Amino acid sequence: MRFLRRGRDLACREMVELVTDYLEGALDARDRERFERHLRGCEGCTAYLEQMRLTLRLAGRLEPEAIDPAFRDRLVEAFQGWAEGR
């Protein structure tokens, strides 16, 4: 299955960058709409968002600095591999 539609929707990597702003309500209406449109077509990012929501709930607040960038990159690669059917 192919959930990624490069060029039309946000790339998954961009989603990861925006997810903390999304959860904090910091996105403007236009970015929020793009974000949610991507979510509807991308199960990898939906799962990632749920993980971040859970983390936020457990931690009480979101600390983007606490997320290891290498770990984040691996997540993104895993999602992309899944979305591309590998």
Which residues in this chain contact Zn ion in the complex, by CB under 5 A?
Answer: 12, 15, 42, 45
Nearer of residues 12 and 19 to Zn ion, judged by Cβ = 12
CB of 44 to Zn ion, least distance (A): 5
> Considering beta carbons, is residue 59 or 85 the nearer one to Zn ion?
85
Cβ-based neighbours of 2, under 8 Å, separated by 6 or more:
83, 84, 85
From the CB of 53, what's the least distance to Zn ion, in Å? 16
Min CB(24)–Zn ion separation in Å: 19
Query: What Cα–Cα distance (Å) separates residue 30 from each residue in 27, 44, 84?
Result: 8, 22, 27
Q: Which is nearer to Zn ion, 11 or 62 (CB)?
A: 11
Task: Give 9's strand partners.
Answer: 6
Q: Are 4 and 12 in contact (CB under 8 A)?
A: yes
